[in-house]
Amino acid sequence: MVLSGPPGIGKTSLVLEAAHRNAWRFPGGVAYAAGPRPEDIRTATATEMLTALAGALGLEQTDDLARYTAAQPTLLLLDNLESLPPGELARLRDFLRLLGRERAALLALRPSLNALEDLPAARPMPLHSGLAEGEAARYAIFLARQRQIPMTQEQARLIARAVDGHPLLVEQLVAQARRRDLDDLLREISERHGDFAALVETVYAWSASRLDEAGLAAWAALTLFPAGSAPEGLLRAAAGVAGLQNLRECALADFDAAGQVWRWHATVAEYALGHWPFSEEERRTRLVALLPTWTRWLERQPARESVTLNRLEESRPNLEVVLDACTGASYEEVWSFLDKLDACLPEAERTLTLRELVARVRKAKLLVLPAGEEARRAGLLNNLSIALSALGRREDALEPSQEASDLYRKLAESDSPSLPEGWPGAGCRLALSIR
């Protein structure tokens, strides 16, 4: 298994915990070897790491390691593999190919590397999510009690939310509370400056030092996707092909094959916001420029099928900021996107998680609809009324419902040629029920 992800996300901890829980499966033993961290500015060799593994298993010769693991169920743990130069990494990969069936290996490194992931038995596992909020808060409370720091559950949750469960940042922020006023620290955390900003800076300094101009621009582009994930086509359009690959090589983002999206930790975007913030106008312009790519992505989604709904739910924070940008753009720029998104969304009464998005899409369509499109406006108002009613906002739903009724009545009385297909004509009575 190949674990990759940004610094401090918990790769080493996960490897060691997995070894503790599964050591009983490997009577041949468990062996651990780690290269230096990138900050140490020292490279490792494959020989050094293999020698450490052999010694941990009580073997006198490194050459005996392959034969031993072929005969004995053995678990090998290899950490900080990004410190190996390409040639040494190739030697390690060749050794891993020789291991017997009775062994397992857990490999941990910051950037994901094809040389390891392409091994026949390899299972890549990119880690770009921190601890769940509840677990991160419990961890903060545990650390605070160790240091005799009075910390409430709400204060612990604030820290957990601020760092999106990043274990290293939780640890360092609680440690800061041992040396300074907790209320001041929590205020800095909520405002994203002071010790909070300094700690995020420290965590990502190694990645920033390795990026070229294209990579830095791609890093800034991540802030356009507040979900912490994006479909590949969208991220390529925003970050550029070269920039996207640079992010992967610096352990900032990676492709999640299961979810078919690129992912990154929330603090990666926090770093970008602190260094390369877009003006509101530039952000809106860039979001509007991405609309054709969003539209093409939506066109590939099967209408109203579960896989589509799951993808829309995950992309909801991204789509919400795009909808905000749409309200200041022209009909020509945004209508295809809005119409396609509306078609992909379920009916408001058939979803809980996407109801608010349904209402926002219909509001956005009304805002950009050109004057004189009375029949289309009436239909949109009626649909908006249904969406608001499904949200339980019945008073809010009355206004668009009444406006739609008035428009339909006027159109019917005038026998307007712009009436929707199937409209029964003048003299009919429109009945609207507000659920």
pLDDT at 428 exceeding the cut of 50: no
H, E, C per residue of the chain = CEEECCCCCCHHHHHHHHHHHHHHHCCCEEEEEECCCHHHCCCCCHHHHHHHHHHHCCCCCCCHHHHHHHHCCEEEEEECHHHCCHHHHHHHHHHHHHCCCCEEEEEEECCCCHHHHCCCCCCEEECCCCCCHHHHHHHHHHHHHHCCCCCCHHHHHHHHHHCCCCHHHHHHHHHHHCCCCHHHHHHHHHHCCCHHHHHHHHHHHHHHHCCCHHHHHHHHHHHHCCCCEECHHHHHHHHCHHHHHHHHHCCCCEEECCCCEEECCHHHHHHHHHHCCCCHHHHHHHHHHCHHHHHHHHHCCCCCCHHHHHHHHHHHHHHHHHHHHHCCCCHHHHHHHHHHHHHHCCCHHHCCCCHHHHHHHHHHHHHHCCCCCHHHHHHHHHHHHHHHHHCCCHHHHHHHHHHHHHHHHHHHHCCCCCCCCCCCCCCCCCCCCCC
**Tens of pLDDT along 146-188?**
999 999 999 999 999 999 999 999 999 999 998 889 999 999 9
* pLDDT band of 42, cuts 50, 70, 90: confident
- Predicted pLDDT at 350: 86
- Predicted pLDDT at 419: 53
**Tens of pLDDT along 277-317?**
999 999 999 999 999 999 999 999 987 688 889 999 999 99
- Stretch 214-236: mean pLDDT: 95
pLDDT at 424 exceeding the cut of 70: no
- Predicted pLDDT at 112: 84
- Predicted pLDDT at 257: 86
pLDDT at 409 exceeding the cut of 60: yes
Asked if the 2-126 domain carries CATH number 3.40.50.300, the reply is yes
pLDDT at 417 exceeding the cut of 80: no
**Tens of pLDDT along 123-139?**
999 998 899 999 999 99
Summary mean pLDDT of the chain: 89
Indicate the domain borders of the chain. Answer: 2-126, 133-191, 213-277
**Tens of pLDDT along 65-92?**
888 988 889 999 999 998 888 888 999 9
